Amino acid sequence: MQLNQYIDHTLLKPTAKPEDIEKLCMEAVANQFIAICIPPSYLKLAKSILKTSNVKIATVVGFPLGAMTTDAKVFEAQDAIAKGADEIDMVINIGILKTGNTEYIWNEIAEIKKAIGSKILKVIIETCYLNDAEKKAACLAALKGRADFVKTSTGFGTAGATFEDVQLMKQIAGDKMKVKASGGIKDRETAIKYIELGVSRLGTSSGVNLVISEKN
């Protein structure tokens, strides 16, 4: 199994420096990862390094809390695309979802998808804060908003991906939307299990180690 083609090689730490992003980009090229995922402020830098490679550039919107206005998220998404992003990983408004107002959630997703056109939109639902009914509602909202992916976690919540959450999300997504597992994926066995459960992407900062362990 070629794990590299599932990996979004991720660095979203607030302490990330330009040289850290450069290293991430070079690792992504060397290991032929599908994408990197970085803060928006480093998009131009990453684009300059990756312009001749096949590695896609993903960035985050409304990150990590999701509590920004829809207008702010739309602006962030458009700005990111203009600066070289191929993919947007957005965070839903978790508090509003928990009130049961799913119309707000899917409208926001739809607005962002409309703003970025054919670019990939991944919707982070932050599963650690949701019960199963809320997870299902969030996935349905992402589906209705025409998102390309639904994603488990920011990596900044109280927990990351779980096998149970991915199974539940895959049930809702079916073949109409892809699933990205993110948060706490640090070993090859875990990564393979998620792929077997149907995920199309793995968000991890341990991508190099996963690929090295695969070669060994």
Query: Which of the residues are catalytic?
Result: 89, 151, 180
Sequence-distant (≥ 6) Cβ neighbours of residue 117 within 8 angstroms: none
Q: Kindly report the length of the chain.
A: 216
Extract the tokens encoding 7: 């990996």
E-strand stretches of the chain: 7-10, 35-38, 56-61, 87-91, 120-124, 149-151, 178-182, 201-204
DSSP codes, 147-163: -SEEE---SSSS----H
Closest among 133, 141, 135 to 161, alpha carbons compared: 135
Instruction: Say how many C-beta atoms besides its own lie within 10 A of residue 51's C-beta.
Output: 9
Extract the tokens encoding 147: 């998102």
Q: Three-class SS of residue 201?
A: strand
Q: Three-class SS of residue 33?
A: coil
Extract the tokens encoding 1: 């199994």
